[in-house]
Amino acid sequence: MIVLKTRREIEIMREAGRISAMALKLAGQAVQPGVSTAEIDKVAADYIKSQGATAAFLNYNGFPATACISVNNEVIHGIPDKKHILREGDIVSIDLGAVYNGFYGDNAYTFYCGKVSPEAERLCNTTREALYVGLTKAVAGNRLGDVGAAIEQYCVSRGYGVVRDYTGHGVGTHLHEDPSIPNYGKPGKGTRLLPGMTVAIEPMITEGTETVNVLKNGWTVVTADGKLSAHFEHSVAITDGECLILTQC
pLDDT value, residue 2: 96
pLDDT value of residue 73: 98
pLDDT value, residue 249: 83
Q: HSE on the CB side for 82, CA within 13 Å?
A: 1
One-letter amino acid at 75 equals V
Q: In b/e form, how buried is each residue of 101-132, taking b as 16+ CB within 10 angstroms?
A: eebbbbbbbbbbbeebeeebebbbebbbbbbb
Per-residue pLDDT, 209:
98
Per residue of the chain (249 residues), give pLDDT as tens: 999 999 999 999 999 999 999 999 999 999 999 999 999 999 999 999 999 999 999 999 999 999 999 999 999 999 999 999 999 999 999 999 999 999 999 999 999 999 999 999 999 999 999 999 999 999 999 999 999 999 999 999 999 999 999 999 999 999 999 999 999 999 999 999 999 999 999 999 999 999 999 999 999 999 999 999 999 999 999 998 999 999 998
Where are the chain's structural domains?
7-245
Cα(216)–Cα(32) distance, integer angstroms? 27
Count of Cβ atoms closer than 10 Å to residue 164 Cβ: 14
CATH of domain 7-245: 3.90.230.10
Give the DSSP H or E segment for 69: strand 68-71
Stated pTM of the model: 0.98
Q: Say which amino acid occupies 132.
A: Y
